């Protein structure tokens, strides 16, 4: 089933921008952002790169539909 960013944000009690920020957070990939650059973190990734980039594609599709 497809969900919109707005419907997911409402369901979880978040703002649309807040949810988008969470979904784009590279920390889940085991990376950190420092001084404007992305670095490999010392923590283990929480999700796979495949899942992260699939979500990024969906977010981009959502923007294109709006």
Mean pLDDT of 28-45: 92
Residue 43 has pLDDT above 70, yes or no: yes
| Strand pairing report for 37-40 and 31-34 | antiparallel
Task: Name the least confident of 20-24, 39-43, 49-53, 59-63.
Answer: 59-63
| SS3 assignment, position 48 | coil
pTM, whole model, 2 decimals?
Answer: 0.78
Residue 18 has pLDDT above 90, yes or no: yes
Cα 55–39–63 angle (5° rounding)? 25
Give long-range contacts, CB 8 A cutoff, 24+ apart: 24-32.
Answer: 24/56, 24/59, 26/52, 28/52
């Amino acid at each position: 089933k497809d969900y919109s960013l707005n419907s997911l944000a409402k369901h979880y009690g978040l703002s649309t921008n807040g949810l988008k920020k969470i979904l784009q957070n590279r920390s889940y990939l085991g990376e950190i952002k420092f001084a404007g650059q992305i670095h490999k973190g010392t923590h283990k990734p929480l999700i796979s790169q495949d899942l992260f980039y699939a979500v990024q594609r969906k977010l981009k599709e959502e923007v294109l539909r709006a």
